[in-house]
Amino acid sequence: MPGSLDTQITEHCGFLGTTNNRVSERQAAADVAAKWTFALLWLFTMAVLIRPEDVYRIPFHFQQIFAIGAAVAFAGALFARRATVAWPPELVLVLLLSGWFALGVPFAYWRTESYTTLTAVWLKTVFIYFLLTQSLKTVDRVRKLIWAIILSELIVTSASLALQARQALQEGERLAGVSMGMLGWNEFGIAFATTIPYIAALYVSRRSLVRTCLLMATLGTMTWMLVLIASRGGFLTVAFAILLTWYSVLRRTPRGQMAILIVGLCLFIVLAKAPSLFFERMQTIWSGSEVPTDNVVVAANESTEGRKLLLERAIIYTLRYPIFGVGIGNFQVINGTELHRADAWYGTHNTFTQISSEAGIPALVLFLLLLITLLRHMKKVSEDFADDPANAELRLLARASAASIISFAFGGIFAHVAYEYYFFYPAGIATGLWLIAGQIREGRRRPASSLEVVPTTRSGERFAR
């Protein structure tokens, strides 16, 4: 005869307790694996931004060591079934874009160059983006990754300003900086612009004198380095990012309104101290057709004309090769070969025409769909948690991520960085926030797992509900 109901309930509770313990153990093991992956990815971020090998000529790359370590940690977690792969729509779009790039290699103008760009540049970027999407499981990790970016930028810009007298750090009269990677030369403005919204979000979300000083120091050194680089596209991108950050992150809080006043004052001081080279280059943005006599202005105008030529040629190649383009990494090769001009051996100086001319119109459509998906998801996260004080930081970071992505899109008009990390770090952060928001929504919908035992009728029997 079956045991009493009390006995069945006791056995069932014991079974649930054992199951919950096993689940907790698996979750703990998965969390340890994810922590190792994230820790190594955090170190990779510092290494890829600071690039110590550029300064000290170290014979090996820290980026490779940390990237391989993060890959091994995640692969080990998958093999041990302590982790699963998340498949957000953004990741699927990136993989589809990768597949299209690969399909275009056999049709490239110079297949070797296309294959090299695919394997040595693009797939590395995709791999880091993939690890970001899989390891950014909490808001705390997102915050720590942003701090890694900000501290790296502070270190690089401080070193560049301290050592600016060295000839090796100069490009003519302009400062190039100590880093030959993301934080050097003309692309510095894009890296700066995509970070500004996150600096604002961290400033608004937490009150701390030390944090505030670090954020203000980073903003100050990066602004001054931007002035010394004197990049017109970079300056316009940063100005756009500041306005967008004020609108989307800062204007709704008293602390944010105070921040924008401080930033405005700092910009006034920086511009007042800026060298004449900066103003000479900036005036060419709006200058008329008068004949220039200053060498700096002449060089800036020649650069403008050269970029117009590159834009025209990129459109020509897009229309001539609309399906697969000329092959990723091939624009400057085919353009220089066909025109036989020294000023033709350059990239497109536009991210969108870089993709359309080198990978075809379908690749551009996929990239634009990725941008739109990221922005839609960040808008939804911001709206879903608008009235949730417990997740205020998540909402703030979502708004900052949207501003960062839009800033990149604006800066992409002036630089060709489609295959680099510039876009895919904000994209990885945004994707991570979308997955975190999904976990919170799922937790709200999930019923209580505990077994509730309540008294019932006069007989004193109990039942499980």
Give the pLDDT band of residue 97 (cuts 50, 70, 90).
Answer: very high
pLDDT digits (tens, 9 = 90+) for 141-182: 999 999 999 999 999 999 999 999 888 888 888 898 888 888
* pLDDT at 296 (0 to 100): 65
Provide the pLDDT confidence category of residue 186 given band limits of 50, 70 and 90.
confident
Q: Map residue 207 onto helix, strand or coil.
A: coil
The closest of 441, 439, 408 to 426, measured between CA atoms, is: 408
pLDDT of residue 20: 42
Query: In the predicted model, is pLDDT for residue 456 greater than 60?
Result: no
Cα–Cα distance, 21 to 152 (Å, whole number): 41
> Which of the residue ranges 33-47, 190-204, 250-264 has the most confident prediction, judged by mean pLDDT?
190-204
Question: Which burial class, exposed, middle or buried, applies to 25 when counting CB atoms under 10 A from its CB (0-12, 13-18, 19+)?
Answer: exposed
pLDDT confidence tier of residue 298, bands split at 50, 70 and 90: low
Contact (CB, 8 A) for 181 and 125:
no
Mean pLDDT for 126-149 is 96
- Per residue in 38-96, pLDDT tens? 999 999 999 999 988 777 667 677 899 999 999 999 998 888 888 889 999 999 999 99
Confidence of residue 340 (pLDDT cuts 50, 70, 90): confident
Do 153 and 199 meet the contact criterion of CB atoms below 8 Å apart?
no
d(CA 63, CA 416): 23
CA 173 – CA 260 distance, rounded (Å)? 31
pTM greater than 0.85 = yes
State the chain's mean pLDDT as an integer: 86
Give mean pLDDT, residues 387-395: 92
| For residue 457, pLDDT beyond 80 | no
Facing residues of 463 across strands?
A: 454
Of 44-48, 285-289, 325-329, the range with the lowest mean pLDDT is 285-289
In the three-class reduction of DSSP (H, G, I as helix; E, B as strand; rest coil), residue 461 is classed as coil
Does the structure show a pLDDT above 70 at 10?
no
Measured in degrees and rounded to the nearest 5, phi and psi for residue 130 equal -60, -45
Return the percent helix, strand and coil in the chain, to nearest 5.
75, 0, 25
The pLDDT of residue 297 is 64
CA distance 42 to 36: 10
pLDDT at 12 exceeding the cut of 50: no
